[in-house]
Amino acid sequence: MKTYHIRRADLELTRIAYGCMKIGGRWDRDPITADERARAARAVMAAVEQGITLFDHADIYCIGKSEEVFGDILRATPGLRDRILIQSKCGIRFANDPNSGDPHRFDFSYEHIVRSVEGSLKRLQTDRLDILLLHRPDALVEPEEVARAFDDLHHAGKVRFFGVSNHTAWQIALLQKHVAQPLIANQVELSLLHTDLIDDGIVANQQPHGYTASAGTLDYCRAHGILVQAWGPLAGGRLFDSRRQQDERARQTAALVAKMAQAKGTAPEAIALAWLLRHPAGIQPIIRTVEPARIAASCAADALTLSREEWYELFVMARGAPLP
């Protein structure tokens, strides 16, 4: 599989990453079942066989069970840890954690960041995270606290590189002003049915067009060598499951994706991901299916290049409106 080179970290990453959100089974505190463990192992090894090297986690996925089952897979597969890169995220806290009545919230405090990483390392059965991302912007963030947490984790060898998720350009700039380590990635929602970051640059000088919080984020990441990771790159299956296509825009986009896939002799998943890979920002889709066949179909995008005309045909259809 082709790779991206992250110059600020001298790091090579495969163009497609595997997201481990679903491999922990259910979002509850019940033990992982034998069937769930077997399904997780099949999915992870299918991703490895496709050449994927970056595996994306978060401390909250399946309430920690996704990291736990992945750690068991690492332990059962000698040498795998040194062949892959592990990324995890922290900062989201559930309601009633740790005390009854606590609200759902975001937490970039020093104590929570460090405690979260230590929990992830324990569940993953590894001594280091290759990348740590701050999951969702904390309105009460104090960048100096984040910087202190990053320094301590980096100096202890527990985290090699750092980044963010769902952050705007100015939120990244504020953190980077205080954090010594380069912020090398920003994981954002991006797909044919969620084109806000791309559309933002197209309609910036058009009226009526209100201010968007994402304004300039994609170009900021490009200008500063920050890898753009796309979560939900297949729109949660809405491009393939007609039962989930609640509007005409989704139905027409799905039909065009299917038409292109048939013409090129490939899977619809490959078309949808190739649309992201065609963008010069160097976008890295994070696929989250646990079905080996769909993992293979998605990875076929790595060998597919859309023309400028095909890219814009999909873009215009997905926008549901003509270009300015």
Is 8 exposed, middle or buried (CB count within 10 Å of its CB: 0-12, 13-18, 19+)? middle
Write out pLDDT tens, residues 132-183: 999 999 999 999 999 999 999 999 999 999 999 999 999 999 999 999 999 9
Of the listed 61, 110, 220, 312, which one is catalytic? 61
Confidence class of residue 263 from pLDDT cuts 50, 70 and 90?
very high
Residue 121, phi then psi, degrees to nearest 5: -60, -40
Confidence class of residue 196 from pLDDT cuts 50, 70 and 90?
confident
* pTM attached to this predicted model: 0.94
CATH architecture of 3-236+283-289: Alpha-Beta Barrel (3.20)
- Measure the CA–CA gap between 130 and 323, rounded to whole angstroms: 40
Q: Give the pLDDT of residue 216.
A: 87
The better pLDDT of the pair 87, 210 is held by 87
Write out pLDDT tens, residues 95-133: 998 999 999 999 999 999 999 999 999 999 999 999 999
Pairing of strands 92-93, 159-165: unpaired
Residue 16, phi then psi, degrees to nearest 5: -115, 135
Supply the mean pLDDT for the chain. Answer: 93
Mean of the pLDDT values across residues 188-205? Answer: 81
Q: Give the pLDDT of residue 213.
A: 56
Burial 85-106 (b: 16+ CB within 10 A, else e): bbbbbbbbbeeeeeeeeeeeeb
61 tagged catalytic: yes
Check pLDDT > 60 for residue 210: no
